[in-house]
Chains A and B, each alone.
Chain A
Amino acid sequence: MIPLSYAQRRLWFINQLEEPNGTYNVPVVVRFRGPLEVENLRGALLDVVVRHEALRTTFCERDGELWQEVTDEEAVELTFVTRDCAEAELEGLVDAETARPFDLAVDMPLRALLLSVDPEQHVLVVVMHHIASDGWSMAPLLRDLATAYEARCAGRAPGWEPLPVQYADYTLWQRELLGDENDPDSVLARQLAFWKQELADLPEELALPADRPRPAAGSHLGGTVRFEGDADVHRRLARLAQADGGTLFMVLQAALGVLLSRLGAGTDIPLGTPVAGRTDEALDELVGFFVNTLVLRTDLSGNPTFTELLARVRRSDLAAFENQDVPFEQLVQELNPDRSLARNPLFQVMLVLQNAATPRLDFAGLDAEHRIAASTGSKFDLTLDLAERQDLYGGPAGLSGTLQYSADLFDRRTAEWLAASLLRVLEAVAAFPDARVGELDLLSDEELALLEEWNGPAGVPVRECAHEVVEARAADTPEATALVFRDERVTYAELNARANRVARQLRAAGVERGRVVGVLLERGVDLVAAVLGVLKAGAGYTVLDTDFPADRWKAVLGQVDAEVVVTTADYAERLPELRAVRLDAEADRIAAQAPEDLGLAVGLDDVACVMFTSGSTGRPKGVVASHRALVATLVGQEFVGFGPDEVWLQCSPVSWDAFALELFGALFSGGTCVLQPGQRPEPAVIEALVAEHKVSTMHVSASLLNFLLDMYPGVFGSVRQVMTGGEPASMPHVRKLLEQRPDLRLVNGYSPVENMIFTMCHTAVPADASSVSLPVGRPIAGKRVYVLDNFLNLVPPGVAGELYMAGPGLARGYAGQPALTSERFVANPFEPGTRMYRTGDLVRWRADGVMEFLGRADQQVKIRGFRIELGEVEAALSRCEGVRQAVVLAREDSPGDKRLVGYVIAEPQRQSALDPADLREQVAAFLPEYMVPSAVVVLEAIPRTPNGKLDRKALPAPDYSAASTGRAPRTPQEEILCALFAEVLGLEKVGIDDSFFALGGHSLLATRLISRIRTALDAELGIRTVFEARTVAALAQRLSRAGKARPALRRRSRETP
């Protein structure tokens, strides 16, 4: 028997591994017009099958090795089905025949269906498995078929020369040519050494602008879009290729690299491309699977010009083509990238420039037309297949292309857009080959117009400072209630007068325009009067949380050069360095101040407030915001309803920008603000306040929202609008709220404090329930956002980019930190002379103009090369029975070993403890394996920072040994399996919970394992089973369900040619 060629081995493996499918079927469709002699066609096809051994070869596996068997000429049974059908049925029947799978162990790799519309109209569908054929086989196949048909019609045998060699000869010759890998002088060893170096540190997975996350196992379903490039561009590209001593293929490869890179795939772009593999002319006339796949690495680092890029491509391609003999499958085995059922190893995007000979169709007495059948499957994420059209003189007349896309990842619309974008790249590089690739303009006019439209409405021009807006309300409706605190109700007139008196006291204490004054008071009416008083005195406030340590107050006050603090006598004692205006001790003096508005000159760009956030260096960052920023964010907006009838609740910590939202949201619009006693939001108090004061509008952080919904389901009784934000909202909770209160407006607001309170808002709708997380929506009036790539170009909708923000909400910068300010508040290329804030957040526009938050740009989670949205894993854990809340992190507790870890807290009513192993199993039931946390840790509470945000650093590292790798076998069957795992993996000992793949197993070793299991345990398992049940324990379970082993294959003798 003959072993398999390397390429055959891989296809055989895929054929066994996957559910039966037609992905690797190669259809040939010929339409005949004229008097077809059906029996002669059948005979002719049989002649062809007899002539080419590859077409009558089956495959088998024995003792972990693979063999091919050529059926004897006399024993060949050709599958040739004839069927009458209507013209309209043709396409469906051809597609169905093309998609029908082969079982390579049993079936001949060629079958035919002849469809007859009428005696003069026939369609022949020859379907081969790729293991017996390739693109370059079409010409010899059809030519031989025509020759044989003509001979048969003339009543004689085909008069062709016997083939010089057969595929089996090639198989053996290939092994001889490549030599032994262990011999350093062999072709194989030398070429492998080249590839190891060439492909070192290759990205495991190319980031593509997909519509959906990658499923655990690819379905290979796909579609194809067609496109045409015009003659002028084709001509320029051909000239560009010649000018640099390259080829059109290289130009196309470079252009595809530019496109993918600009769409977020990075600067290191591996592409696959087929090479004919017929490196000896004896193979030219043969039908068979010779094609090999090369991985071409395209290096776009350093923003080269297209011409420079082309030179790089030429250099690396020439070297690659010189080393094209190493079979792709051998390369995969050698480089051993992380294997998966979800993606092709080493590359996920294929580039083809057709150069196979066009088959000639001289069928006697017939008009025959070869049709390329549309393939419905997709082997790769994307396959770009291009062909050159030629004019009458053989010159460039345009490019015809198809883009085949994986339906797992892409919608048809996205594939069409990708094809259109590629054409724009080709046009751009043809026109400006010396432009840097980062400067090429890739957005269509339509996309630019969309991005402009989505940037939202212009804002109302700001004319008044924050305190002036409140003064105007006090003049309009002096008797309206401004504040409610405990039993106290304060009218606008009273609040304004009180603030004016504080302002005069502050001026007397030396406060001047432009200075920053600390406000250190517990929440209450005095706090609000102090904040307004500071603004009226021409200064900006910074509110210090009374719960924070004194050292933190000092650090903050030092940062803004504050000389004065508004406080009470006891707090003042703890800040002896500062001049204190003590509202309690100096009450009489303050009461004696005049109550009228001061009318001081204060500009819109003067500081209104400084809000502190933690800095990465450990020094707090004070965000200096102007009156303009504050007023523009809360006046003339529609992200919630504003007005005198709204009753707001102020419960957020006073050091957040949400404090300004809750307070000035009410006071700027004449509404009422109910102040919650106490520094931290207190759910029971909130519930009582909402009920007592008919609160209509509130803001709660996402985690507080979850908590309230779980524990105080009736809390939102009178509330009409709820804003949330600060961190991604939990979708199960959002769904619950939308179902319970369809009349309630739930708004997801989003902004770093650097652009004041909210930059974007999204009103939740029932359709959001299916999203992974609540979108952040669109910019509010007057604010601008830009999603940019690494060259600061706008990226098209659907493509991930980093979010930059601009508009009147923009802070002046970080107090006392000019360098830090200049790094984050940078020149805005879209509005001359202005700045934009660089958020470091990764986002993308959905096709409907709603923005999605994807995570931090600098903390993208990748496990074994897979991109993972942690929110999806968190949502999955949250759905488990008994789990109240879940947080998922990618931890790297030992270097280079990044693992997902889930942290959960149990429902409070729950009696028994949560079982981590059980949770992992539950999650594994609906998440791809790579998204299942390696460990789940049950916690009493999720650790939080002083500001109430998740404290990631305080989450404990999981104890893997507790989860027991190395658990001993429990049954004789497990004992045998442990031994087999160890044997195949070359390890001393394997525990029953150890994953085969985590221990270094790969797909070929899995084949061996299956074979060993069959011998040792007399049980039949598919390779797929090892991917699904990766541990001894899981596999043992499967074994008890598996069937008896099939009979051992009969050894058959075959002469070696």
Chain B
Amino acid sequence: MSSNPFENPDESYFALVNDEGQYSLWPASIPVPEGWTQAHGEDTREACLAHIESAWTDMRPNSLINASN
């Protein structure tokens, strides 16, 4: 395999988020899967990861956060 689509520093990416508030890095060249929305990007890999690092502060899934409160 030549290069994994998540590992290419020169490609552009999205930061995706799902209903559970979980984030996923996502290559911009591949269609966004159902059930996910763009939280950031299209942008560099680094910038997308930086967004996720600052936005995803509580890593518990939303359903668990709601049940715990």
Contact = CB atoms under 8 A, between A and B. Distances in A.
B4 A838 contact: yes
Given A813-B59, A829-B31, A832-B35, 12 more contacts: A267-B2, A603-B67, A603-B68, A818-B53, A819-B49, A821-B56, A822-B23, A823-B49, A826-B24, A826-B25, A833-B18, A834-B18
A833 B25 CA distance: 14
How big is the A interface, by class?
35 or more
A818 B56 contact: yes
Contacts of A332: none
A818 B35 contact: no
A827 B68 contact: no
Contact of A818 (B16, B23, B30): B23
Contacts of B18: 827, 833-835
A266 B2 contact: yes
Contacts of A438: 29-30
Nearest to B46: A819
25 contacts: A266-B2, A514-B60, A624-B59, A789-B1, A790-B2, A791-B5, A802-B1, A802-B4, A812-B61, A818-B52, A818-B55, A819-B49, A819-B53, A821-B56, A821-B59, A822-B56, A825-B22, A832-B34, A832-B35, A833-B20, A833-B36, A838-B6, A842-B1, A857-B1, A857-B4
A69 interface: no
Interface in A853-868: 857-858, 860
Given A603-B68, A605-B63, A819-B50, A790 B19 contact: no
Contact of B3 (A790, A818, A828): A790
Contacts of B49: 819, 822-823
Interface size class of chain B, counting residues whose CB lies under 8 Å from the partner chain: 35 or more
Nearest to B29: A303
Contacts of B56: 818, 821-822
Contacts, number: 108
Contact of A812 (B25, B30, B36, B59): B59
A513 interface: yes
A792 interface: yes
Given A822-B23, A827-B18, A603 B64 contact: yes
A822 B52 contact: yes
Interface of A: 264, 266-267, 303, 436, 438-439, 513-514, 603, 605-606, 624, 789-792, 800-802, 812-813, 815-816, 818-819, 821-823, 825-829, 832-835, 838, 840, 842, 857-858, 860
A790 B4 contact: yes
Given A513-B68, A842-B1, A818 B59 contact: yes
B59 A829 contact: no
Contacts of B2: 266-267, 790
Nearest to A266: B2
Given A822-B24, A826-B24, A835-B24, A605 B61 contact: yes
Contacts of B68: 513-514, 603, 606
B64 to A, nearest CB: 4
Nearest to B50: A819
A382 B6 CA distance: 32
Contacts of A436: 29
Contacts of B23: 818, 821-822
A834 B24 CA distance: 10
Nearest to B27: A792
A297 to B, nearest CB: 15
Contacts of A815: 59
Nearest to B34: A832
A827 B4 contact: no
A827 B24 contact: yes
Contacts of B16: 827
A606 B64 contact: yes
A827 B59 contact: no
